[in-house]
Structure formats: C-alpha cells, structure tokens
Amino acid sequence: MNTNIKNRDEIEEQFKWNLSTMYKSVEEVKQDMKKIKDLLNQFKGYQGKLTDKETLLKALLLQDQMDQLVEKCYTYSHMKLDEDNTNTQSLALFDQVRSLFVLYSEDTSFFVPEIMKLDFQQLSCYAKDERFQDYRHFIREIGRNKEHILSDSEEKLLSSFGEIAGAPKSIFQTLNNADLKFGEVKDENNETVELTHGRYQSLIQSRHRDVRKAAYNELYRVYKCFKNTIAQTFINSVKKDCLYARLRKYNSALEASTFSDNVAVSVYNNLIASIHRNIPLLHQYIKFRKGVMQLPELYMYDLYVPLVTELNKKYSYQEAVDMVLKGLNKLGDQYVSNLRQGLENGWVDIYENKGKTSGAYSTGAYGNHPYILLNYNGTMNDVFTLAHEAGHAMHTLYSHKNQPYRNASYTIFVAEVASTLNENLLMKYLLDETKDPKEKLFLLNYNLEQVRTTVFRQTMFAEFEKITHEKVEQGESLTPDSLCEIYYELNKFYYQGVQMDDEIALEWARIPHFYNAFYVYKYATGFSAAVALSKGILEGGQNELNKYLEFLSSGGKDYPIELLKKAGVDMATPQPVEACLQSFGENIKLASTLI
C-alpha cells in the first residue's frame, strides 16, 4: 500500500474521466450560464399567458431547452468539484452554478402552478395531440400532484430557499470530504499510512485484526470529535424534510418521498417488516462467519474480512474491466461493446487523489455520455463496484438514447436495479468459472455480504431514517446522544451475535445518503428486483432479455412499479424481497458445505 495519496495533477490522464466532451473550458460553462439567463427572461414572458394549447407547447419546449443546459452545467461543475474538493476554482464554479440553479427554480416556479389552474380535462385533450406525445406522462403527473402544488407566490418563496435548504448536505459533504483528517494507522506491513475514506475500505478488510481494529477505532475517534456538529447538520436536514412535507400537505416526510415515485408507503413498511421476519437469517450468517474466522467473539470490524485468505488479491483496472465484460455477456454483444468503449475511453475517473469525493457513483447529462467516479483500490469489492456503476451508466445510456429529454430520467426507485443486476450476473459468471472450493466460498461470501450490506444494512438505515423523522414529526427532540442511542439499539437488533462497541453508535454520522432522505431503502428493493430479473435472464431466453433491455430503455416514461412489472417483477408485493432472503438462506447452507 502506498503511504501517500497523490495530488490530482499526479494522476495520469488515462486514469481520469474526460470532461472535455461536455465542456472544453470553464469559459464555455459560463457562456451556457449566460444563455440560461437569457432564456429565462424569455420564459418569464409566458407567466400569466398559459391559456391555450399552442402557448403551452412553446413554453414546454423552451423549458426543456433550459433544463438541458442547467443539467449540463450542474453535472459538469459538480464533477469538477468532486475531482478535488479543495480546489477553490472548482468550488467557486459550483457555487455559481448552484446559485443559478436557485434563480432558475425561482423564475420558473410559476409554471407548474399555472398549469395546475388549467382544467385537467382540457389538458388531457391536449395530450391527445401528437405534438404533446413527449409530455403525456408529465400531464398525468400534473393531475396526480395537483393537491401538493402551492400557489405561484408560495412556490416562488419555497424555491428561493433552495440553496439554504441544501445547506445541511453541502456542509456535511465539505466537512466529510475536505476538512476531516483521520490521522495515521499501521498497515499490514507495519508501515504508517494516512487513513482516508478510500483507504479505510481496504484496511477494514485486512486479515490482520489489529490493523482493521486500529482503522475502525481511529475513524470513529475523529467522528466522535465532531459528533455534535454533524448531529446538528443531520437534525436540521431531518427538520427540513419534515417542514417541506408539511408545507406540501403530505402526512409525513416518508409519504412525500415515496409519493414522488408513485410508490405506496406500504412498500417501505413491507420491506422493514420482511426483514424483521427474516432477521434470524442474518443472525445465522453472523454465526457462520464467526465459526469460519474461528474467533471467540465477533466485533463490527470483523464483518468485512474476506473469509478465504488465498483469494484476497489485487486486480488491475484493466483486469477488472475484462472480468466485468465477460460477466455481462448474457446482456448481448451490443451492450458489452458499448460498455467496453466507455470504460476504456474517458467515462471513468479511476483512482483516489487528495480531496477527491469518496465512494463511487455514476452520473450524466442528456446528450452526453455517462460518467463514473471510482476510488479504485484493486480489491474484488472494487471489481463489483465497477460492475455496479457500469449498470447505472448503461441504464443512463439506454434511457437517454431511446427517450425524449422529458422522459429520459429514471427515478431512484429503479436506479439500483440495473446496477445490482450487473453484480448478480458477474457473481454467477465467476461462480461458474471456478472449480476451486475456496474460490467458490470466497465468491459466495461476497454475495452473502452483498445481501447483508445492501438488503439488511440498508433497511436498517431506512428504519433509522423512519424513526428520526417520525420523532421530529411527533414534536420530540433529537440530540447527538439520542441519535447514537437509536442507532445503537438498531444494531443490537440486527447484529445479534456481534459484540457491540461504543464506536458503532456513531456510524450514522458518516453516512452521506442520510442527506437524501428515504433514499437507501431503494437499494434493498432494487437489489431484490435485480435478483428476480437476473434469474430470469440466466434461466430464460431472448424474451426475458428483451424485456429487460426495454426496461433499461424506458427511462421515466412510466411509474417505476409499472416499469418493473413490465420487466417481470412486482415490487408492490413482499414476494421479491422474501425470495431474495430465501436465496440468502440457501447460499449460507451452500457456503457451509465448502468449509
């Protein structure tokens, strides 16, 4: 392990994403920002005049033009900042774009409320015109959202608070990615290394217990020092969610979140209920892991270690690309060819550098190819992360290619399906390729860990979000200590058989997804849907593949539950989650036979 993290300019260009395909310079971004302002002035001329079909159509077309420019500016500027959060020029550009976004939201806030005032029957008649074909789902949404849209002045006032409302997330991101320093620890070679977000992921998987324990304790020592500040940031984020939900006449922040996807709150609650019913399976896995590791007691820092020492090896980025592409061959030659072109030619920002945003994601702006941010360390986990983010990227590519701008963006509820399906296909390919029992055990354990972290753990996160938001909605106070207590008790329930320590009570303080409320449950539902769809592709024929590729190409032209139904899985019922957990139990038994 290198003892120093490189600066951004020390990373070779071939390992960086190529943003010049979007903008060649900051000057070009600023030209588009000026164009947005000019178009905004034109758009404001429609205020109070949306009284006939022709005017409405012109306004919708102009809004699409502006939206695409705003999306492109925002996507580029946030990626530039994510390259290095300490770069003041990138920070300045992002702040300018974010301010423009708030102005844009304010100046366009009249649009939807004015459309809401129109007779919905008349709007439905407009939708029959072929020129409104791209806006039919939008008009359907107008009818569904009517009771939650405020007056023109109220919408404008709410929009003006956009930048302030985003402050908790922005503050946390800056603190977590730029300001927090996690000190130094000894690695497996007894060398002193700087602890970072990316490096922590490797150290926590170390075969040396003292290494992972030291990394774990050092990380949470730092978060404990900032516990009060981060708690206030999170608490204000929760209060913001509850306030916005109340202002828009929802019964709860949870309902406001699920309503946006046209998903019933019962889907969220059913997920938690299914996990509670099947929690003995997680306890069974913990017992299995403890036995394999031959430890008298299992601690939280023992949960991420690969169970097979011989396979704890490193893979170059190119090796990872080749493995992923072979694993995805069931998705067809065209899918694989498009993905290879992207992964090897400028889609991906591969390695960690100082100030780079931690973790991994995929993003994209309409009319441009998708991008992937990684912090690649060469572990098997990183190979699967590449497959995961490639799934997001290809979902974006297919949706953007096959849908008009208005319908191109898929919702978060379905976003995790394509990514997790890729991981499942890669897993099946690797399991089929090996005859080595130890390698099979390694891969099975990885799969078991995926279910533990993506289904069980993300549901625990979802339960934490539900509890904290309900407390605020019921008028109860949240404090740093109460957040730690809630989180600690959840861990006791989920991780029976693991020795609880004080550090785990602070884990909530380092989870960035909590600043996108009620997001994480979609990892669990998406994983469950992906298990069902991947099984169909592997066991079925061309029909199953065609339905899946149609799903990828559908963007947001329909509601997510409906899109998944057409693909072959009904997430409105508990069945997919229950089937996923049943598969988890079967894999525990299979892994046990390999010991």
Per-residue pLDDT tens over the stretch 344-381: 999 999 999 999 998 999 999 999 999 999 999 998 88
pLDDT, position 516: 93
Is 105 a member of any domain? Answer: yes
Mean pLDDT of 564-569: 95
Is the pLDDT assigned to residue 312 strictly greater than 90? no
Is residue 514 within 8 A of residue 168, CB to CB? The reply is: no
Chain mean pLDDT for the chain: 94
User: Which structure tokens are listed for 189?
Assistant: 């070679």
- What would the pLDDT profile of 409-451 be if each residue is shown by its tens digit? 999 889 989 999 999 999 999 999 988 888 888 889 889 998 9
pLDDT score of 149: 84
pLDDT: is 144 or 65 the higher one? 65
pTM for the full predicted model: 0.81
Instruction: Assess contact for 552 and 395: CB atoms under 8 A.
Output: yes
Residue 537's pLDDT band (cuts 50, 70, 90): very high
Could you tell me what percent of the chain has a pLDDT over 90?
86
Is 440 contained in some domain?
Answer: no
Q: Is residue 199 one of the residues assigned to a domain?
A: no
Please tell me the predicted confidence (pLDDT) of residue 376.
96
Contact 382, 376 (CB under 8 A): yes
* Beta bridge partner(s), residue 584: none
Looking at residue 309, its pLDDT comes to: 67
Closest of 398, 456, 429 to residue 534, by C-alpha: 429
**Rounded distance, CA 313 to CA 145, Å?**
52
Q: Is residue 595, in this structure, part of any structural domain at all?
A: no
Q: Whose CA is closest to 285, among 32, 494, 546?
A: 494
Question: Are 256 and 245 a contacting pair, CB within 8 Å?
Answer: yes
CATH assignment of the domain containing 13: 1.20.140.70
Q: Give me the half-sphere count of Cα atoms (radius 13 Å) on the Cβ side of residue 149.
A: 16
In order, the DSSP letters of 413-473 are HHHHHHHHHHHHHHHHHHHHH---HHHHHHHHHHHHHHHIIIIIHHHHHHHHHHHHHHHHH
pLDDT digits (tens, 9 = 90+) for 153-168: 888 898 888 889 999 9
DSSP codes of every residue in 245-257: HHHTT-S-HHHHH
Predicted confidence at residue 2, as pLDDT, reads: 47
The reported pLDDT for the residue numbered 310 is 58
In a domain, 366, yes or no: no
- Torsion, Cα 242 248 250 255, to 10 degrees, reads -70
The most distant pair of C-alpha atoms in the chain lies apart, rounded to whole Å, by: 75
The yes-or-no verdict on residue 1 having pLDDT over 80 is no
Q: Which residues contact 151 (CB under 8 A, 6 or more apart)?
A: 113
Instruction: Provide the token pair at 295.
Output: 């430890």
How crowded is the C-beta side of 246, counted as CA atoms within 13 Å?
Answer: 11
Could you give the CA distance from residue 286 to residue 206 in angstroms, rounded to a whole number?
18
What is the arithmetic mean of pLDDT over 551-558? 96
Domain membership of residue 213 (yes or no) is no
Q: CB of 322 within 8 A of CB of 387?
A: no
Residue 532 has pLDDT above 50, yes or no: yes
Residue 559 to residues 138, 261, 273, 326, 393: CA-CA distances in angstroms? 11, 7, 24, 32, 20
Query: For residue range 331-354, what is the model confidence (pLDDT) as tens digits?
Result: 999 999 999 999 999 999 999 999
- Does some domain include residue 85? yes
Beta strand 192-194 pairing with 348-349: unpaired
Predicted pLDDT at 35: 98
Type of residue numbered 504: I
**Mind listing the pLDDT tens digit for each residue in 175-211?**
998 899 999 999 999 999 999 998 998 899 999 999 9
pLDDT at 562: 96
Who's near 554: CB < 8 A, 6+ residues apart? 399, 402, 403, 410, 563, 566
Residue 553 falls within a domain, yes or no?
no
Answer for the pair 422, 552: CB distance below 8 angstroms, yes or no: no
Active site residues: 389
| Residue at token pair 């939708």 | 127
Share of the chain above pLDDT 70, in %: 99
Domain that holds residue 156: 8-165
Indicate the number of domains in the chain: 1
